[in-house]
Chain A
Amino acid sequence: MRLITHNMLSCNIKGVANGFPLKIEAESVIEKEVDFNPDFLRHMFAKIEWKALVEAARSLGYSELPEDSPAAAAEDESLLKKLHHALLELHLEEGALVCPETGRRFPVTRGIPNMLLHEDEV
């Protein structure tokens, strides 16, 4: 699971109001090189919850992203490169996503987050 996915997901157990951002429990993190596509990143930059991304990247051991959402990321190539690395190249291979409100663990196995709810959660 890449952090772009993490940035889109929340815990949707019935009644949970603050299911975002999910905390990351990392057991195994890998890096895979991906082609750099600035257009795609510019589009994504506008949609990203920056704080959640910074925190998530840190929990995978990458702390190069600036704390505050940069105003002019679209023109800043070096920042786009960092964004690229954080969003697309870091993979949570094994671990879990934990709901900040209820502590429910959504397991991540072989890179695939399992977001399906139990019968008593829907």
Chain B
Amino acid sequence: MWFLCVFYHRLLDFRKPEVEALAELFGEDESLLQWRLPEHHHNDTPFHFVHLSSEEIARNIAKRSILVKGMYELWGQGSSYEELKDSIQTFPDSRKLPFLAPDSTFRISVETFGKALTFDEQRERINSLTYIPFQGKVNLKKPDHKFFIIEMDESEENNGLQPILQRRIFFGREVGFADRKLLPTFQLKSRTYLGPTAMDAEMAFLMANQAKATSGKLVYDPFVGTGSILVSAARFGAMTMGADIDIRVVRDGRGPDCNVWSNFKQYGLPMPVALLRMDNNLPPWRSGLKEIFDAIICDPPYGVRAGGRKSGGRKILRGTVDPYTVPEDKRSDHIPSTGAYSLVECVHDLLHLAARMLVMKGRLVFFFPVLRDENGSEVKFPEHPCFKLVAVSEQILSSRYSRVLLTMVKVEPYSEEVEEAARLMHLEFRENHLKWLEEGNIHSSVFKPSDSCQVHTDTKSFKDPKPKYRGKYV
């Protein structure tokens, strides 16, 4: 069945992957899911057609999603109201009549994109639908069936879309819609315990959806911080587990009622199964432990807002293998020094951890920084023989860099041979693609002063540097 899937016009790169991940979560056959664009529409449009095997799956996806505004059974479409009428009339009665029955209640709403209609204009459009034999009673508050007229004009200058050639009008029956109420409830400004890099609620939920977090699953965040990502996974019913190298963050927080635990308590969510302090570079997992997590979700420290740390500080600083010995009497209170942990190492350790500790078909979802290069050179992402990259969603953070949410699925079991192949892959990646990411580089590229200091004599061309078309820059 084809459905009209209308998205919120934000985080454009994240929209389809979210639907795809949720489709899989609700048991959709991977090969059945297809996308199609309305005529003359560009990929960034909020209107997409998606093929799913049942209305129930469409409803479940919409309900759980963050970016789907609504899923509709399309009754007709056209570039004018005449065309819409013809299209609705050719839609089979067998599909229409069950929802028009005398004992049912209904409501028709008018939605627009990139334009606003007055109340009178809306009423006029609703009244023009007399050719649909509605038998039921109108109920605005709690109707059995909700119908929508969704209208957008040919793009004018500033509706946030690339120029689309034609006006398009859709009429459909609502199948499901997103529960965005989650977002105000979980917004960071009302969260008790926050850190400088706490993940905002919308993104955290998107990450949990990419990871297919759900009841009975165990989700792990190796850079847990204040727990902002795990909170979203727990909201979807998953068991959570987090680790961090900074003991002050995980153990102490800002007091007894302001710590990682209290962030879960605040929303009445089950506490994480475990929080522990450890070094991701030297994880203390027992040998033989594997395939225990269903998903790993994280925002690794990549050195722009927070840098990574790992064990063995003094040793690294001195550059000697000569052991630094902690005096016997100071051992119990000793706070080990840590050294810088470059993104290259961090990503390598993360892939290694995921390869070993994820169940088959388990998902690794993490952010990876990308410098925005005007030359448009292709970005290469880290690879691992156990993983298949299934989604790449870019969120542009500044004119200098963006972060990309990578979703990987474990498709090969972990073994020693695989580990050797992974090592070679990593070396190659490190050699050819990650030089700029080595310690310090990304930070300096992001924060270096702009070199466009030429004097702008022509004030006109300087006036309007931003394109009208926002595309995925929203």
Q: Using a CB–CB distance below 8 Å, which chain A residues touch chain B?
A: 1-2, 4-5, 7-12, 19-21, 32, 34-35, 37, 39-40, 43-44, 47, 49, 88, 105, 107, 109-120, 122
The 8 Å CB contact of A119, one of B252, B274, B275, B337, is: B337
Least CB distance from B289 to A in Å reads 6
Cβ-defined contact, A120 with B326, below 8 A: yes
Instruction: Report the interface size for chain B: residues with CB under 8 A from the other chain.
Output: 44
Cβ-defined contact, A119 with B311, below 8 A: yes
Cβ-defined contact, A47 with B324, below 8 A: no
Which A residues lie within 8 Å of B336 (CB)? 116-119
Cβ-defined contact, A116 with B277, below 8 A: yes
Cβ-defined contact, B277 with A113, below 8 A: yes
Which A residues lie within 8 Å of B284 (CB)? 9-12, 19, 115
Instruction: State in angstroms the CA–CA spacing of A117 and B313 once bound together.
Output: 11
Cβ-defined contact, B289 with A47, below 8 A: yes
Instruction: State in angstroms the CA–CA spacing of A49 and B241 once bound together.
Output: 19
Cβ-defined contact, B275 with A2, below 8 A: no
Stretch at the interface among B87-95, B132-140, B243-251: B243-251
A2-B282 in contact given A118-B334, A119-B326 (Cβ < 8 Å):
no
A-B contact list, 16 entries, CB within 8 Å: A1-B274, A4-B274, A5-B241, A5-B274, A8-B292, A10-B287, A34-B270, A39-B215, A39-B216, A113-B276, A115-B279, A115-B284, A116-B277, A118-B336, A119-B326, A120-B324
Least CB distance from B171 to A in Å reads 42
Cβ-defined contact, A12 with B273, below 8 A: no
Which A residues lie within 8 Å of B288 (CB)? 49
Cβ-defined contact, B251 with A2, below 8 A: no
Interface of B, secondary structure class, is loop
Name the residue among B285, B313, B315 with the largest chain A CB count within 10 angstroms. Answer: B285
Interface flag for B312 (CB, 8 Å): yes
Cβ-defined contact, A12 with B282, below 8 A: yes
The 8 Å CB contact of B239, one of A40, A114, A120, is: A40
Which B residues lie within 8 Å of A107 (CB)? 332
Least CB distance from B456 to A in Å reads 53
A37-B215 in contact given A10-B286, A20-B286, A118-B334 (Cβ < 8 Å):
yes
Q: Give the top 9 A-B pairs by smallest Cβ distance, nearest first.
A: A10-B286, A39-B216, A5-B274, A20-B286, A115-B278, A115-B284, A112-B251, A12-B284, A122-B312
The 8 Å CB contact of B273, one of A2, A39, A49, A112, is: A2
Instruction: State in angstroms the CA–CA spacing of A19 and B250 once bound together.
Output: 24
